[in-house]
Amino acid sequence: MRKCFFILMILPLPLIGQLNFTPIAGLNSTRLSESYSGYAKGGNFGVYGVEVEKTFNFTEYSPVSISLLSGVSYLRNGFNQENSFSVFNAYYYKKTNIETTYWQVPLMVRINWRPFPLVEDWRLFFGAGVSYNSLTHAHIAEQATNVSIVLLYYPPPSTSYQDSRDVTDIAVKHTLFERFDIGMKFKHLQVSWCLSVSMQDMYFKCLENNWQVPFNYSFYLDAHKSRSITKEKYSEVVFGWRF
């Protein structure tokens, strides 16, 4: 897979004069699948990189064109969640922190549309494809506390669990994400919104074998156990300057 993306990256280089290079910077919002259904918001993170786009026009004055997009971006993201709640005579506190670092290489097809023929420098676009994500670092930390609120005892009895470790070796190193984007190009400026969803199970394999936070106290273990899969979802707002 890495060889295929490398070939796709260098194949257009002889046509460099017909390409657009776009340095990009934006904000990534990461979500992680939670118990039973849906995704839990994990935080906002910066994303930086460059896009390489080759455009093909049907005719000289056609308002619609197709382009092939690739590039590379650096994403240092993760998942952060902290919550507390009371049930009957017990108080619970849970905290989960996951840190990951990725290099992202997209491969997409974009449809570009010029809505006003007389305004040549303004285009809207929609893109679809995949993103190859290469993981370079992963770390997880969790802690949980259960306090029994019993009036006969002071201080009230409590139970605490915590664990923290580097999980790069048991993480999925190479993953594919479905990727969609919509946006606008005006002269050199480009603004886009992108959605990416993992196509594979992102769970840290065999973490449950020696993790010191039990299933019923661990957000990460419980979410994977209830759905049998851990998925990640990214949404990004990205600004670029086209050359």
The tens place of each residue's pLDDT in the chain, 243 residues long, gives: 555 544 444 444 443 336 899 999 999 999 999 988 899 999 999 999 999 999 998 887 889 999 999 999 999 999 999 988 888 778 889 999 999 999 999 999 999 999 987 788 899 999 999 999 999 999 999 999 998 876 656 677 789 999 999 999 999 999 999 999 999 999 999 999 999 999 999 999 999 999 999 998 999 999 999 999 999 999 999 999 999
Confirm whether 43 is domain-assigned: no
Confirm whether 221 is domain-assigned: yes
Alpha-carbon distance of 132 to 141, in angstroms, equals 26
Question: Which domain, by its residues, includes 210?
Answer: 2-8+67-241
Confirm whether 54 is domain-assigned: no
Confirm whether 35 is domain-assigned: no
Confirm whether 115 is domain-assigned: yes
Residue-level pLDDT at 152: 58
The token pair at 83 is 């919550």
Q: Looking at the 3D structure of the chain, how many domains does it have?
A: 1
Confirm whether 132 is domain-assigned: yes
Residue-level pLDDT at 89: 79
Confirm whether 41 is domain-assigned: no
CB 146 within 8 A of CB 92: yes
Confirm whether 142 is domain-assigned: yes
Within 10 A of 203 (CB to CB), how many other CB atoms are there? 22
